[in-house]
């Protein structure tokens, strides 16, 4: 038999090659009468069944544990964000209630802030009519006007956050420009300064939670 194979080496090599090739593409299931093609293995020859099983098992474990960890971490972060947002809402509501309580208990502060709205309305009408002398009469001659001092006292008492205090500063700075523009009879500069002043005061009332507490806004 050995002599027959050696006498026809080409047939032997082809037969062996065919057998090896077929073994690469099938897995023999023990206990059965036939070889069933289950799956095709990669073309490289150094992969064993054991290493393939370990790789698949490792990928499965990583996918399961990794996704669970990511999902758990995301859930924790989302819960923290929700709690932080809820706490911020509570604190903002608490501040609004405190300010409304102070405003309700202080008729003077309410009167001072209401007077600001009244004067800004009158000044705005005068500027719209290009009547700067009338606007000057409403404002007073200087920023030391009594109504402005009282208004700043109320604004300072009710301003607690940096944003609110910033709007108060903008309001006073814009009013200073308005006084200067009215005195110089500069209608265009007066319009700009008036809009800045009114806008700053309106933003302050919103930040302070006093929208609806004062008339004319």
CB atoms within 10 A of CB 202: 16
Q: How confident is the model at residue 44 (pLDDT cuts 50, 70, 90)?
A: very low
Q: State the residue for tokens 């082809």.
A: 14
Tokens of residue 28, six digits: 């023999």
Same domain, 78 and 115: no
In this predicted structure, what is the pLDDT of residue 97? 74
Same domain, 14 and 93: no
Question: Could you give the CA distance from residue 217 to residue 213 in angstroms, rounded to a whole number?
Answer: 9
More confident residue, 50 or 78: 78
pLDDT at 154 over 80: yes
In this predicted structure, what is the pLDDT of residue 22? 44
% residues pLDDT > 90 (the chain): 39
Same domain, 79 and 16: no
pLDDT at 40 over 60: no
Mean predicted confidence (pLDDT) in 73-78: 62
Residue 190 makes CB contacts below 8 A (sequence gap 6+) with 127, 132, 135, 178, 181, 182
Same domain, 195 and 121: yes
Residue 2 makes CB contacts below 8 A (sequence gap 6+) with none
Q: At what angle do helices 146-158 and 107-128 cross, to 10 degrees?
A: 120
Q: How confident is the model at residue 34 (pLDDT cuts 50, 70, 90)?
A: very low
Same domain, 110 and 186: yes
Give SS3 for 139: helix
In this predicted structure, what is the pLDDT of residue 24? 44
pLDDT at 26 over 80: no
Q: For residue 169, is it within any domain?
A: yes
Same domain, 31 and 89: no
User: Domain with 135 in it: what CATH number?
Assistant: 1.20.120.290
User: At CA 136, angle to CA 133 and CA 140, rounded to 5?
Assistant: 150
Q: For residue 153, is it within any domain?
A: yes
* Residue 2 CB burial class (10 angstroms; 0-12, 13-18, ≥19): exposed
Same domain, 35 and 88: no
In this predicted structure, what is the pLDDT of residue 177? 97
Same domain, 99 and 139: no
Cβ distance 38 to 27 under 8 Å?
yes
Q: How confident is the model at residue 167 (pLDDT cuts 50, 70, 90)?
A: very high
SS3 annotation, 148-166: HHHHHHHHHHHCCCHHHHH
SS3 annotation, 169-189: HHHHHHHHHHHHHHHCCCHHH
Task: Determine the structural domain holding residue 199 and report its residue range.
Answer: 106-207
Q: Express the helix, strand and coil content of the chain in percent, nearest 5 each.
A: 75, 0, 25
pLDDT at 199 over 70: yes
Average pLDDT, the chain: 74
Same domain, 177 and 155: yes
pLDDT tens digits for range 77-86: 666 677 777 7
């Amino acid at each position: 038999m050995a002599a027959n194979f050696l006498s026809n080496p080409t047939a032997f090599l082809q037969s062996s090659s065919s057998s090896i090739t077929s073994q690469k593409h099938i897995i023999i299931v023990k206990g059965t009468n036939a070889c069933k093609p289950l799956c095709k293995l990669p073309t490289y020859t150094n992969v064993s069944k054991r290493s393939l099983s370990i790789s698949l098992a490792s990928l499965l474990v990583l996918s399961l544990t990794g996704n669970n960890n990511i999902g758990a971490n995301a859930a924790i972060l989302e819960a923290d964000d929700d709690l932080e947002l809820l706490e911020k809402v509570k604190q903002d509501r608490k501040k609004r209630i405190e300010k409304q309580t102070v405003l309700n208990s202080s008729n003077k502060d309410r009167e001072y802030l209401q007077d600001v709205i009244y004067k800004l309305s009158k000044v705005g009408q005068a500027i719209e009519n290009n009547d700067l002398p009338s606007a000057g009469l409403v404002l007073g001659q200087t920023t030391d006007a009594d109504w402005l001092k009282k208004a700043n006292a109320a604004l300072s008492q009710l301003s607690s956050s940096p944003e609110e205090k910033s709007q108060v500063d903008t309001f006073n700075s814009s009013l200073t420009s308005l006084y200067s523009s009215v005195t110089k009879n500069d209608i265009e500069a007066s319009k700009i300064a008036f809009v800045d002043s009114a806008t700053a005061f309106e933003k302050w009332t919103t930040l302070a939670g006093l929208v609806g507490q004062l008339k004319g806004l």
